[in-house]
Amino acid sequence: MAPPQRGEVGGQGGQDPPAGVSVRVLLFAGARELAGTAEGVLTGLPADTDEAALLQRVTEAFSLHAMAGTFILALNQDFVAAGDALRLRDGDEVAVIPPLSGG
């Protein structure tokens, strides 16, 4: 029943092991539909980054351009605000949450 996972190899050109951090990405509501998956992995992220860079990587990796600017990002269940500096660790959980409007 669970949609397939989509992995993404993050621009490290086959280096072994990949430099940088890998995070688990959970997609909710419309983001899940747009990406065609409920879950994925982003690798090769810099440990020290910011909201704009993470948002860009997530948007590109999961083809979320159509809903850009209308979903929230949460890092380990904490809202990521515009301009936030972020410190990522391996295994961190990034959630992509658009509003759900049905009822």
Instruction: Give contact residues for another protein (rule: CB under 8 A).
Output: 1-2, 28-30, 33-34, 66-67, 69-72, 74, 77-79, 81, 95, 97-103
Instruction: Give DSSP secondary structure letters for 46-72.
Output: -SEEEHHHHHHHHHHHTT-GGGTTSSE
Choice between 85 and 100, CB closer to another protein: 100
Query: What is the DSSP code (8-state) at residue 2?
Result: P
Query: What is the DSSP code (8-state) at residue 56?
Result: H
Smallest gap, in angstroms, from Cβ of residue 41 to another protein?
18
Choice between 15 and 60, CB closer to another protein: 60
Cα–chain-centroid distance for residue 49?
Answer: 13
Smallest gap, in angstroms, from Cβ of residue 68 to another protein?
9
How many residues in total does the chain contain? 103
Smallest gap, in angstroms, from Cβ of residue 55 to another protein?
14
